[in-house]
Amino acid sequence: MNIQRFFLFFLVFLAGCSKPSEEIVVATAANVQYVMKEIKAEFEKETGKKIDIVVGSSGKLTTQIREGAPFDVFVSADTKYPQEIFKNGGSAEKPKIYALGTLVLWSKNIPKAELNVEVLADGKIKKIAIPNPETAPYGEAAIQVLKSKNLFGEIEKKLVFGESIAQTAQYTISGNVEAGFNALSIVLSPEMKDQGNYIILDSTDYKPIEQAAILLNHSEDSPKKKTSEQFYKFLYSQKAKEIFQKYGYK
């Protein structure tokens, strides 16, 4: 046996002897990303187990799950996508609501005293950032607000769509748009706090943003199964609830 064949055999032997990783991957809607950083830290401190967070719009994460992405838990910005996964056999458990989201209007330069939905029709406002309503529930809620005020047709051409609420936030704080719709949790995050001005929009102008999570399927012998179940339970704990409330969730 030459040295190269021996080395290859040794690597295969080690791989066979190594313990499968218990680190889980949590697919996370962009509006929850800063909350999840804190929940991740608390969970890892309490259990000694590791989790990895993948951030995106709820719609795009759902597409990735359909295509076989190796996620263990899905924390969505709505109930629709987790329910779709459940109906298609992606989980043995129905999704559960973990929080209600809050929609805000945000601007880098417009003074708070002048910031309101009606001002978006002003000719001085050229661009308005909004999460893509086809994949991001907060974008869908923003459209509902505009329609409730009979403003959608008037300002539709001004809308600039972000792939997720995170990209929409970048459009807003960079000043590339005059205003943007976003989640209260984003503007309260350490990274975004005190950047510009925002107002909380009337929750009666849009359907409640019920945010749900779902525990994705695992085989019985999967080393990730127990950790995934443990994290999913932690997501609904009092400690996690306090973190959600800190970021403006109800």
Block means of pLDDT (10 residues each) for the chain, 250 residues, are 43 40 89 94 95 93 94 95 95 95 96 96 95 91 97 96 92 95 94 92 96 89 88 96 93
Question: Sign of torsion, CA 245 99 143 81?
Answer: positive
- What pLDDT does residue 250 have? 87
The phi and psi torsions of 131 (rounded to 5 degrees) equal: -65, 145
| Model pLDDT, residue 6 | 43
Separation between Cα atoms, residue 93 and residue 217, nearest integer Å: 9
Sign of CA dihedral 246, 191, 49, 228: positive
Q: Element (H or E) spanning 73, and its range?
A: strand 73-75
3-state secondary structure of 191: coil
| Count of beta carbons in the 10 Å neighbourhood of residue 116 | 14
Q: How far is CA 139 from CA 63, 162, 211, in A?
A: 18, 9, 14
Query: Going by DSSP bridges, is the β-strand pair 24-29/51-56 parallel, antiparallel, or unpaired?
Result: parallel
